[in-house]
């Protein structure tokens, strides 16, 4: 579970996810003790999930994550498109300026030929 997914969940859902993850960690530790655990990395993954959930809950408690911050990822995805659009407009403006300069250039090149 990623931090972005956790930001979308409300407090009750986070608590439910925390309870589920803690139960899963308990079961994995039990399997490890009995010798039935195939993948030891599962324990690490669940522990990291629990840490992410607790961090998200604490951030909300301290007011570090606000409603605006939750909406920010949606607008952040639109930001690169806006930047690309602005760059294209700049390129078009540069191209137009270059075209105007080229129109003036033939007159100046004729002066050089006459010398």
For 23-47, what is each residue's pLDDT tens digit?
A: 999 999 999 999 999 999 999 999 9
The pLDDT value given to residue 96: 59
**Cα distance between residue 10 and residue 80, in whole Å:** 28
Q: Structurally, how many domains does the chain consist of? A: 2
CB-based contacts of 42, cutoff 8 Å, min separation 6: 28
The pLDDT value given to residue 58: 93
Distance of CA 55 to the CA centre of its chain: 18
Q: Mind spelling out the 3-state secondary structure of 57-107?
A: HHHHHHCCCCHHHHHHHHHHHHHHHHHHHHHHHHHHHHHHHHHHHHHHHHH
Q: Within this chain, do residues 43 and 59 fall inside the same structural domain, yes or no?
A: yes
- Token pair, residue 48, equals 């990291």
CB-based contacts of 17, cutoff 8 Å, min separation 6: 1, 6, 9, 53
Q: Within this chain, do residues 34 and 45 fall inside the same structural domain, yes or no?
A: yes
Domain containing residue 87:
67-102
**pLDDT tens figures, 62-73:** 988 765 455 455
Residue 7 has pLDDT above 50, yes or no: yes
Q: Within this chain, do residues 60 and 80 fall inside the same structural domain, yes or no?
A: no
Is 111 domain-assigned? Answer: no
Percent of the chain exceeding pLDDT 90 equals 42
Q: Within this chain, do residues 51 and 83 fall inside the same structural domain, yes or no?
A: no
**Cα distance between residue 94 and residue 11, in whole Å:** 52
**Cα distance between residue 27 and residue 22, in whole Å:** 9
**pLDDT tens figures, 72-108:** 555 455 556 556 565 666 666 665 565 555 555 555 5
Q: Within this chain, do residues 56 and 84 fall inside the same structural domain, yes or no?
A: no
């Amino acid at each position: 579970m990623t931090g972005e997914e956790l930001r979308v969940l409300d407090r009750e859902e986070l608590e439910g996810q925390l309870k589920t993850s803690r139960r899963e960690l308990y079961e994995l530790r039990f399997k490890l003790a009995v010798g039935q655990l195939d993948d030891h990395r599962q324990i690490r993954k669940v522990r990291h999930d629990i840490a992410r959930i607790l961090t998200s809950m604490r951030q909300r408690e301290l007011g570090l994550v606000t409603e605006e911050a939750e909406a920010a990822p949606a607008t952040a995805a639109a930001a690169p498109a806006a930047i690309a659009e602005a760059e294209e407009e700049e390129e078009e403006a540069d191209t137009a300026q270059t075209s105007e300069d080229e129109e003036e250039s033939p007159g100046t090149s004729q002066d050089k030929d006459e010398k």
